[in-house]
Structure 1
Amino acid sequence: MSLLGKNSLEALRTLAFSENPGLQQSAALYYLHLSQHLISQLTEEHLEPYYALLQSSDVEVQQMSSLSLVNFLLEGNINRDLVVQMGLLEPILELLELGDSTVQCNSCACIMTLAASESNREAITSVGGVIPLLALANSYDPRVQQNAAGAILNLTQSEWIQQVLCREGALPVLTLLLESPDSEVQYYSCTALSNLAVNSHHHEAMLRTGEGFLLRTLISLLSSSVEKVSSQACVCLRNLAVSVHIQADIIAMDVLPQLLSLLASSSTDVQQASIALLWKLSQHPGNQDTLTCAEMLNTLGKLLLTHKADPVLVGHAACIIKNLILPQNMQRIMESSCSEGLLYTILSPDVQEEPLHYVIACLAELAKHEGSAFHMLQWMDESLIKCLVKLAGQLQHTEPSFQAASIIQHVICHEKVRSLLKCHIKEIQCYLMNFLTHQEIRFQQLGISTVCKLQEDPEFSLAIRQSQLMEHLERVHQQTEETQKLLRVVINHMDI
């Protein structure tokens, strides 16, 4: 007789809907055996006996039937949406409120798996599944607590359900679960809180518990030996760090040592999560002095030198350094490996377009400071100059083009740079021509100031006089004079 044949199905129905607990146990045991060996899909007809089995008054039947349903769901033998559509959600939720911890554990696991579907999340919430799950999250049984926390996590993926969870008291429950000795519970609760923290409207309620209790607990989790827990703690802190006040509070809790440790992690996820949090914290001017320490700057420089193919690490590292570029910090930045890391990054064939743009913008900001521009000269060579000239000529990428040309303009007064640029006179003339005719004033001004500096060199001066650049400059000069005359007429007329 086939495991899923017609005769087997009729026998299962008879046993399941019997009022004899012993017969129901036989049906439940058969399903449990089937859930451990089935490799095909379970049909809708084979789900029907679960109506009776899940609502049985016999604990063993409840245990075996709920476990088999978990197995089927986890192995993909049952369509999750079909379970809800057939009305099995209500009896599953009813099992949550029974006293047997094994039944509760299995039922929570069912809900957790079902809640991976958006439509199922809505159904679970609409029939009152939130309250019993929150109650079981406080269970003394670690298995129940873990599955309840996992189910709550999946529910937080829906924005409108987040409102229900907060209203029903999920925030204090999830916050306390962060201190669980079970790393899975820590991860589930921390991820759920991260999802809630995406919406800044929840922040006040999240931070209201105790005096910085949530922030302190999350910071303590940064030191977790379980990588996904420390990574998720970073994500939650980053989502919370929207206002300058919270950013300052996090820094004041001595988070820097943990972040430095995480940046040195062998886990890419941990590194990416920690540098994203650091970028958020670096946006607050009050934090920048603390963050501009030698160890942090050298760590950022090292990341740039060793992770050029990682767009998250490269992009965030460049943005952090850019945030820290202040006159009082320049000496410390120059003494670090940041400049070297940034300059060598733009030469890498592995660096992606978007993070490259952030790197160029950071270098342009550094080049504005005379001491830093001079400091960058030690890494300026033929390949780097060629790269900058090429980037300046790519006008389809407006910002990187402008920033690369700005770097050149700031270092062009040094003989070493002018000497290297002489191999690229035609390319320079080409991008300067485009700058002078650009519709944005800043491009025109940068083009003119670059030409002025180039003319200090006899070879460049001769090349410019013999090129179309001079004609463009004459036209710009005439247009400027005409504009000034018109403006004088307008101003004089207004004064009459």
Structure 2
Amino acid sequence: MGSCFGSMGNCFRSHRMSSNIASTREPLLRETERDAVTSLLQYLEQDSNNPHKTISDDKLRDLCTLAYSDNVDLQRSAALCFSELSEKLMEPITEAQLEPLIHLLLSSDIEVLKASSLAISNFALHGPPSNKETIVQAKALQPLISLLSSDSAEVQCNACGCITTLATTEANKVEIVEYGAIPPLLALTRVNDPRVQRNTTGALLNLTHIESNREKLVQAGGVTVFVHLLDSKDADVQFYCAAALSNLAVHEAHRSAIMAVGNGRVVGSLVTLMSSSVDKVRCQGCLAIRNLASDDINQDRIVRNGGLSVLIPLLRSADAETVTAAVAALRNLSIHKGNEQLIVASEALPELKRLLLMREQSEVQCHTAGTFRNLAAEDQSQAIVDEGCIPVLADLLQNYQGVPEAVLTEVSAALAVLAANESARRQLMSLYDGEFYKTLIEWTESQYSEVQYNCAGIIGHIAINTEYHSRLLSGSPSVMSVIHRFMESEESSCVHIALWITSQFSQGDMGTRSQLRQPALLDRVKQLRSSQRNSEDIRQLAESTLGHITAGQTEPSS
């Protein structure tokens, strides 16, 4: 999911505090106020080459004297002092130190608000991570949210930037919404100032990481805001809105809400963003398309709106994250039966074959293998075979050192579907001097249960070809070991596939069937046929398998 973490550029560049205080008319100041001014001026000007500052108890008293003064010039000075300190204070801020600053956030003076909102934003963004929690605990959220409605774009920008930074922690995301930030944030998106729009959409994006927040955003009209702002001229706004929509699109009901805006205008906007010259925008466009393509109707609509013509070239992107997002989107689009021929015709297969070789990019390999699996299930297996993808897939099982479990699972699943193709079976049995089947048998004893099952499925498909029966059953290792082991499994799916494999062999000649007539195997098949604990499918498959094995023979007694 996308996030807005980065530097929220300062919207306000203040004069140094010293120039502000120098203009203050000293005769009007109380003695304590004059002392505070003098002390803080000396404090800021001493060790000017030292970038790090601290706020001692006496300096905090000085700041409080100015912040709580009735003299607006002194309030401005306090705000500017906090602003300058916020760029240099490396130690965690405390609630006591924040108290006078939060008081300044309640001022009616625009200059005080500019400097104080910048200061608290800096404390959140540039200070230690604990500052985010402390700021919320110090009750700063309510005044910050109130400042979102300020007449000053600079104040809006600073307040929103602070909220954006605060919304990078899970607890704060909830707190911010509970304090009612969503309506004023959505209202701010209509402000023409690009700085305000960036910070606002960034804050809203961070809030989308919590499901309860996503629901409230949708109810408040956030979907329409995000969809319309995809057409912004600002790359950051495009990025934040595409990422927010991607996060919302995780939920089926929210996908429907997104597609309802402007009769699905989001698709055209996202397709346009995938052609952006900015890497992060292209990437987020792909991620949003991927999540929207979780629904069948959207898979069709995205392709009909030119999604493939933009997506396929992105598989060659120099940006690794964009490649990952693009192939993930393509994988979802390949689920739709009406898309598979268009994907193959778009010259996707050579790119997918190349991506499968990227061993350092395991997520890319997973999505690539998943795409092959989807396409093969929709009758494009021959095109995949003709492209030479079978040896590349098989090599990941043969030379598996360093290959993650997730990749092995997806690759074996793809091969299990492709093995239904006659040409694929012949290729598999010719690989590695005709001994790749031994690798498949070895994988059925893997610690990875899904890889075990998938490789057993590949073996079952290969057994459709009777000319391979002798090699599979007589070699070392033998498929008989797979049959026995899976037949005794507690998992009904494993029992079912063991019976299915046995059934394939039972269609062979008399020699093959005689190899299956082992008393232990026959007894187990009979048990499966008669046990009411088994599903009807397993009992029927056991019955037919037993009939084929014993065809032409008197059934031995158990």
Corresponding residue to 2:499 among 436, 444, 448: 444
Q: Please say if residues 315 and 323 of structure 2, whose CA atoms lie closer than 8 Å, have aligned partners that are also in contact.
A: yes
Partner-residue secondary structure (3-state), 1:346: helix
Q: Distance in 2 between matches of 1:340 and 1:218?
A: 36
Task: State the match for 1:387 in structure 2.
Answer: 439
Question: Within 1, Cα distance between the matches of 2:124 and 2:530?
Answer: 78
Query: In the alignment, which residue of structure 1 is the partner of 2:373?
Result: 322
Contact 1:294 1:336 in 2 (8 A): no
Q: Does 1:472 align with 2:520?
A: yes
2:78 matches 1:27: yes
* Deviation, structure 1 residue 326: 5.2
Q: 1:456 to 1:188 in 2, by over 3 A?
A: same
CA offset at residue 283 of structure 1?
1.3
Q: Is 1:6 equivalent to 2:63 in the alignment?
A: no
**1:256 corresponds to which letter in structure 2?**
L
Q: Specify the alignment match of 1:490 in structure 2.
A: none
Alpha-carbon distance between aligned partners in 2 of 1:211 and 1:481, rounded to the nearest angstrom:
55
C-alpha separation in 2, matches of 1:9 and 1:418: 88
CA–CA separation in structure 2 for the residues paired with 1:479 and 1:57:
85
Corresponding residue of 1:431: 482
Equivalent residues in 2 for 1:101-112, closer than 5 Å = 101-112=153-164
| Partner residue in 1 for 2:135 | 83
The TM-score, its normalising length taken from structure 2, stands at 0.77
Q: CA deviation at 1:159?
A: 2.2
Asked if residue 403 in structure 1 is aligned to residue 454 in structure 2, the reply is yes
Aligned pair 1:274/2:326, yes or no?
Answer: yes
Using the TM superposition, give the Cα deviation of residue 248 of structure 1 relative to its aligned residue in structure 2, in angstroms: 0.6
Give 2:191's aligned residue: 139
The structural deviation recorded for 1:268 is: 2.5
- Deviation digits for residues 287-345 of structure 1 (CA, Å, limit 9, x no counterpart): 222122361122212211x2234332222222221222258534322221321221122
Match of 1:124 in 2: 176
Equivalents in 1 of 2:450, 2:56: separation in Å?
Answer: 67
The one of 307, 312, 326 aligned to 2:363:
312
Distance (Å, rounded) in 1 between the aligned partners of 2:496 and 2:194: 65
Query: 1:355 is aligned with what amino acid?
Result: V
Identity of aligned residues (%): 34
1:189 aligns with 2:241: yes
The alpha-carbon distance between structure 1 residues 353 and 124, as it changes in their structure 2 partners (threshold 3 A), is closer
1:142 is displaced (CA, Å) by 1.0
The alpha-carbon deviation at position 456 of structure 1 amounts to 5.6
Retained in 2: the 8 A contact 1:309–1:352?
no
Inter-CA distance 438–27: structure 2 relative to 1 (3 Å threshold): closer
- Alpha-carbon distance, 1:210 to partner: 2.0
- 2:49 aligns to what? none
Q: Which amino acid aligns with 1:62?
A: L
Using a 3 Å threshold, how does the CA distance of structure 1 residues 474 and 52 change in structure 2: closer, same or farther?
A: closer
Q: 1:442 to 1:89 in 2, by over 3 A?
A: closer
Q: Aligned partners of 1:328, 1:155: CA distance in 2, in Å?
A: 43
Aligned to 2:276: 224
| TM-score normalized with structure 1 length | 0.86
Distance 1:426 1:340 in 2: 22
Answer yes or no: is the 8 Å Cα contact 2:188–2:196 preserved in 1: yes
User: What SS does structure 2 have at the residue aligned with 1:48?
Assistant: helix
- Give the AA of the match of 1:129: A
Deviations 1:333-367 (A, max 9, x none): 22213212211221232322232122112212222
Cα offset for 1:478?
7.3
- CA distance in 2 between counterparts of 1:71 and 1:10 reads 21
Matched pairs, number: 475
Amino acid paired to 1:232? Q
In structure 2, list runs of 5 or more residues that go unmatched.
1-42, 44-52, 532-538, 544-558
Letter paired with 2:274: L
Q: 1:326 to 1:66 in 2, by over 3 A?
A: closer
Once the two structures are superposed, residues 179-218 of structure 1 have per-residue CA deviations (whole angstroms, 9 ceiling, x without a partner) of 1121111111111111222222123332222233111001
Superimposed CA distance per residue, residues 209-259 of structure 1 (whole angstroms, 9 cap, x where no aligned partner) = 223311100111111222222221122122222332111101101211221
CA distance 1:26–1:3, change in 2 (3 Å)? farther
Aligned residue in 2 for 1:340: 391
Report deviation, 1:49. 0.7
Which one of 202, 208, 213 corresponds to residue 260 of structure 2?
208
- For residues 381 and 19 of structure 1, do their structure 2 counterparts lie closer, same or farther at Cα, with a shift above 3 Å needed? farther
Contact 1:293 1:332 in 2 (8 A): no
Cα deviation, residue 436, structure 1: 5.1
Tell me whether 1:240 sits opposite 2:288 in the alignment.
no
Q: Which residue of 2 aligns with 1:74?
A: 125
* Equivalent of residue 259 in structure 1, options 295, 311, 314: 311
Task: State the distance in 1 between where 2:191 and 2:271 align.
Answer: 25
AA at the equivalent of 2:200: A
Q: Deviations over 1:473-495 (max 9, x none)?
A: 454587799999xx9xxxxxxxx
| Larger helix percent | 1
Instruction: Pick closer, same or farther for the CA change 1:231–1:211 going to 2, 3 Å.
Output: same
1:51 is matched with which residue?
102
Q: CA distance change for structure 1 residues 100 and 473 in 2, over 3 Å: closer, same or farther?
A: closer
User: What amino acid is aligned across from residue 401 of structure 2 in structure 1?
Assistant: P
Q: Indicate conservation of the 8 Å contact 1:279/1:319, yes or no.
A: yes
1:379-433 Cα deviation digits (max 9, x unpaired): 3436634321211344x645433432443454465879966997x5245443343
Tell me whether 1:293 sits opposite 2:345 in the alignment: yes
